[in-house]
Amino acid sequence: MDATQISSELTRVLYTNDQIQARLADIAAEIDEEYRDKDLLLVGVLNGAVMVMADLSRHLTVHLQMDWMAISSYGSGTQSSGVVRILKDLTTDIEGRHVLVVEDIIDTGLTLAYLIQNLHSRKPASLKIMTMFRKPEALSSPVEVSHVGFDLPNEFVVGYGLDYAGRYRNLVDVATLAPHVYS
């Protein structure tokens, strides 16, 4: 679905699907260069990173494998609960592997900081982060990010994997959600 189909539920479109795909192609070129001749494992963070992971992997030309983790600090609300839980762990042993964590969004950084600490303890050869979106104003736990698609304002956004109570993930654009929807 695109933003025109649900315009009454959105305040404004921040990034269109065309802009997102163009940025992903640029990031993929950087990753291709960085991981040429390396054993790359993409680790997607469910559920939001599904769209990013699928599109990023299609832009990449290096050989890679994929695995998934599910971690949460949200529940069904619009703000982090502050409690991080692993809902699904990796099925791949990452020791000695070059791991690139693929995120949809870095908001406070709390969840990602926990995840990175957890993955470092598993002794990967390298561990880096790619996120499609980041909210610099909301960041409270510093995390080093190697690849950032776009910075977002500190507003509630949906689309391209980002959701509100499980909805709007299939919106191809990224937009701010109208307050009447979540108030």
Active-site residue identified among 2, 26, 39, 107: 107
Q: Please say whether the beta carbons of 78 and 86 come within 8 A.
A: no
Strands of the 157-158 sheet, one edge to the other: 10-15, 174-177, 157-158
CB 81 within 8 A of CB 75: yes
Q: Any catalytic annotation for residue 89?
A: no
Reduce the DSSP state of residue 25 to 3 states and report it. helix
Q: What phi, psi does 147 have (nearest 5°)?
A: -140, 120
**Catalytic residue annotation:** 107
